[in-house]
Amino acid sequence: MKHYDAIIIGAGQAGVPLAKKLAEAGKKTVLIEKRWVGGTCINDGCTPTKTIIAAAHAAHQARKASLLGLEIDTVKVDLKKIMKRKDEIVDSFRSGAKKGVESTKGLDLIHGEATFSGPKELTVKTSDGAELLFSADLIFINTGARPKIPSTPGLTGGNYLTSTTILDLKEIPEHLVVLGGNYIGLEFAQLFHRFGSKVTVLEKSYRIVGGEDEDVSSTLTEILEEEGLKLLTKSTLEEVKGVQGKLSIQLKTADGTKNIKASHLLLAIGRTPNTDTLNLDIPGIKIDKNGYVLVNEKLETSVKGIYALGDVNGGPAFTHIAYNDYTIVYRNLIEKEKLSTANRQVPYCMFTDPQLARVGLSAAQAKEKGLDFLVAKIPMTQVARGIETGQTLGFMKAIVDRKSRKILGACMLAAEGGEIMAVLQMAMQGDITADTIRYGVFAHPTFSESLNNLFMNMIEK
């Protein structure tokens, strides 16, 4: 048994910086990772997907260049080159993160799978078959999540893709069926359509991106369908037959049973926490019905001294939230702050084209809370920068408290929506009112300049 001051299970976007900072603070620390340093974000999440999306965006821009007066005869998509570039960037990020860990004094990196074998004890099975025993007074769980696989008849490992395995495709799918009409599914759906695939999206709800306002869903639906994607709502997967290249997919729809012939099926219906092999019952760590670790507002589990950070605790599943989890835990433990997750902002951006970015309350959420608010909205067809660059799809939208004029939320379905949203997020953090932004001076011509116009005519909810 080797004793440490702190053990971190999982080298994700919370685990890595936390391990380094704890070690730098003088705590003898070990970081245990069963796969690769960097977690989902670097290895099979943000980094690889946004790299591939950049290629799909470039292909789309080239095809519609004639609208700007440019004639491009053909656009050839070389998936092998795109994937090679993706792999090189991922390897660079992963290697950099690993070197940062290995160069930190007082920090050990162990590759293996950890399970609890005592209240504050872990058994680690290493890749070479050895078993190591560790103990610590402080333990941090940062094991993340993996794609959820439904128990649909006929699904086997050889006839479906996940958000992880689709990143290793060597050929562009002839017909890609995507199960799930939310953020992960829609990003992959659009990018592969732009690579040349026929794409069908299946969504069990009556609309895509069901967590957003109705106008966001309907406008994004129009944009994607106009681009050529097929969106089937009120559709559930009933059975799958065949293997990759020849799939028969049976659906239950509002109009009855349908069969779709496809070459590939992508499952994008959510994620499952990586807690099933941790033996959390041994230390008595409580989990919810879906397997997520229950934590309080300081990210501590039901066992004192054991914390859960990132996707595994069931909070918003974003890299930046995992990183914020780390800053909260570290500053509380080492710098003796009194921080919590209560009322923190949760910005996010879906990298479809146009991007869908949001922070704060939606109109539906504000109405549900019974707030007295106004809605500010402007179509991108009225944004000068959008017109000049040929990017006029979508809209800008904000929710404003009627009395205080403070911004309660912002939603940008727009080119560079994430960057525009961040401007209003900063305003929300500083309690800057909509009127101040209305009369603010922004550089011309930028997308953010149109925030002047956004708040010019606020309307009733």
In the chain, domain spans:
2-147+272-333, 165-269, 354-460
Question: What's the confidence (pLDDT) of residue 245?
Answer: 80
Amino acid identity at 182: N
Model pLDDT for residues 326-348, shown as the tens digit of each residue = 999 999 999 999 999 999 999 99
From start to end of 296-382, where are the E strands? 306-308, 348-350, 355-360, 373-379
- Checking if the pLDDT of 189 tops 70, the result is yes
Q: Which residues pair with 379 in a beta bridge?
A: 395
As a whole number, mean pLDDT of residues 453-458 equals: 90
- Residue 241 CA to residue 255 CA, distance in Å, equals 21
**What is the topology classification, in CATH, of domain 2-147+272-333?**
FAD/NAD(P)-binding domain (3.50.50)
CATH architecture, range 354-460: 2-Layer Sandwich (3.30)
- Structure confidence at residue 281 (pLDDT): 97
Which of 226, 180, 225, 234 has its CA nearest to residue 350?
Answer: 180
Q: Whole-model pTM? A: 0.95
Q: Which residue from 360, 345, 357 is spatially nearest to 447, judged by alpha carbons?
A: 357
Q: pLDDT tens for residues 205-225?
A: 999 999 999 999 999 999 999
Class of domain 165-269: alpha beta
* pLDDT given for residue 243 in this prediction: 82
The predicted-structure confidence for 131-174, as pLDDT tens digits, reads as follows 999 999 999 999 999 999 999 999 988 899 999 999 999 999 99
Determine the pLDDT at residue 158.
Answer: 85
| pLDDT on residue 402 | 96
Question: CA 255, 256, 262, 267: dihedral to nearest 10 degrees?
Answer: 90
15-61, pLDDT tens digit by residue? 999 999 999 999 999 999 999 999 999 999 999 999 999 999 999 99
Whether 164 and 272 have beta carbons less than 8 Å apart is answered as no
- CA 30 – CA 244 distance, rounded (Å): 42
Nearest Cα to 181, choosing from 270, 247, 253?
A: 270
- Whether residue 232 has pLDDT greater than 80: yes
Residue-level pLDDT at 461: 61
Of 3, 60, 193, 444, the active-site residue reads 444
pLDDT beyond 90 at 128: no
> Per-residue pLDDT tens for 260-282?
999 999 999 999 999 999 999 99
* Burial (CB count <10 Å: 0-12, 13-18, 19+), residue 281: exposed
Chain CA centroid to CA 303, Å: 29
Model pLDDT, residue 212: 98
Q: Tell me the average pLDDT across 368-372.
A: 97
H runs (alpha helix) in 229-338: 319-333
Do 2-147+272-333 and 165-269 have matching folds? yes
Q: Which residue has tokens 């946004």?
A: 50
How confident is the model at residue 174, as a pLDDT?
97
Q: Is 320 one of the annotated active-site residues of the chain?
A: no
Cα angle: 82, vertex 84, 89; to 5 degrees:
100
430 pLDDT more than 90: yes
Distance from C-alpha of 215 to C-alpha of 394, rounded to nearest angstrom: 10
pLDDT value at residue 457: 81
Stretch 94-119: mean pLDDT = 96
For residue 389, the model assigns a pLDDT of: 95
- The predicted structure's pLDDT at residue 450: 96
Distance CA 285, CA 287 (A): 7
- Asked if the model's pLDDT at residue 459 lies above 90, the reply is no
